[in-house]
Amino acid sequence: MIRISTSLPDFNKKFEAFLTMREGGEAEVSSVVSDIIMHVRKNGDAAVLEYTKKFDKFIATLDDIKVDEKEIANALALCSPELIKSLKIAAQRISDYSKKQLPEDLDYVDASGTRLGHRWTAIDAVGLYVPGGLASYPSSVLMNAMPAKVAGVKRLVAVVPAPEGKLNPAVLAACHIVGIDEIYKIGGAQAIAALAYGTPSIKAVDKIVGPGNAYVAEAKRQVFGRVGIDMIAGPSEILVIADKNNNPAWIAADLLSQAEHDAQAQSILITDDDTFAEKVIIEVERILIDLPRRNIAKKSWQDFGTVILVKNWQEACDISNKIAPEHLELAIAQPEEFFPLLRNAGAIFLGSYTPEAIGDYIAGPSHVLPTSRTASFSSGLSVFDFIKRTSIIGCSEKSLAELSRYAQTLAESEGLHAHKLSVSIRS
């Protein structure tokens, strides 16, 4: 675990090292992924089945990999009524929030008489990658798919790794509640390739969203351009800015809520009180003892856990903006006072009664957020990821005559004479 303080003369040096501590540790997967994508493009379904057997130990046929209604019904029967109710409430809250994000079209006539504006339309087909294997996340199905549904996407396709052919019933239940159109029991780079380029059995999509391992992330990077993608997501991270009036156990639990995701995840505490920091560290160690995923969380905390001591909250906000965390909790007495100073974060959780986990499951905004400091230039998944804007331009004879002279001048200055002609020929 790392401890640094802004009051020490070597803070800037240590802070810069901290910012880059998780860089460069990724496995070299580019060539492997490239080969997988090429094989799927060339051999289609056969390649997908081959990799499914190799990586998921699932000897499947084309009929086996597509989930049917009977399998969904069986999955629903295995889920408790309380789980189904929770998934439905979460789905409704995500839907309600997403509907408020829907933008309006623009259509007007300017002073020259030219019609201008834009129109929003949904993407036709979207592929959703749902992580499987060691952990399955029905919440990710809701958080990725519901904004797409609200946006008006016509075809939603889910791909889910199925080790030995088995799927988590809760994941299938979430797919059913959202209304996924097609579900395939495939994962890894081969699933991304199938979605991007299509196979005889799986029709290609226009965009791929959803988190995955390093191979999935690299595959999304390589198919970008053929299809759209949401983002290249890295390990999860949380930054908690907390004062001494918090319950140390609460803050410790919040830090571990992300550490238990992945050994590469990062949990950061910023506080102005050294004694409080010690109490939080003690609580982290105490909670770890009984945490079911303690081996993962413990390694994350030991390798990347960080405590930063600051002199005031202005300093804390400045540091937070440089970190640009995926999740940012502002657990201080007057969070609204400092909220305007926080510019770079995937999501901000205001006050001690707003744990990050409430955003993971039930609050409403998607939990798919930018990681690895990319919140400094990008946003979390939303309705806007599933719609595109088309400009509208309509000239009348009169408005074209008014604008023609200037368009011709600009075209001539660029040496594009056919451009100039296409305007002047109408005069």
Catalytically annotated residues: 326-327
Neighbouring-strand partners of residue 61? none
Distances (CA, A) of 86 to 83, 122, 360: 5, 28, 13
Residue 230: closest CA among 388, 26, 382, 34: 382
The count of C-alpha atoms lying within 13 angstroms of the C-alpha of 417, restricted to the half-sphere facing its C-beta, is 0
CB 178 within 8 A of CB 146: yes
The values of phi and psi at residue 365, to 5°, are -65, 150
Residue 147: closest CA among 382, 359, 379: 382
Give every CB contact of residue 26 below 8 A, 6+ residues apart in sequence.
214
Strand order in the sheet with 387-394: 106-109, 115-122, 387-394
CB 367 within 8 A of CB 360: yes
Residue with tokens 């998934």: 87
Say which amino acid occupies 194.
Answer: A
Give every CB contact of residue 58 below 8 A, 6+ residues apart in sequence.
52, 64, 162, 163, 164, 165, 185
Residue with tokens 């052919």: 165
CA distance 374 to 420: 42
Distances (CA, A) of 61 to 50, 157, 196, 203, 301: 10, 19, 21, 17, 42
Q: Can you read off the two tokens belonging to residue 266?
A: 């990062």
Neighbouring-strand partners of residue 221? none
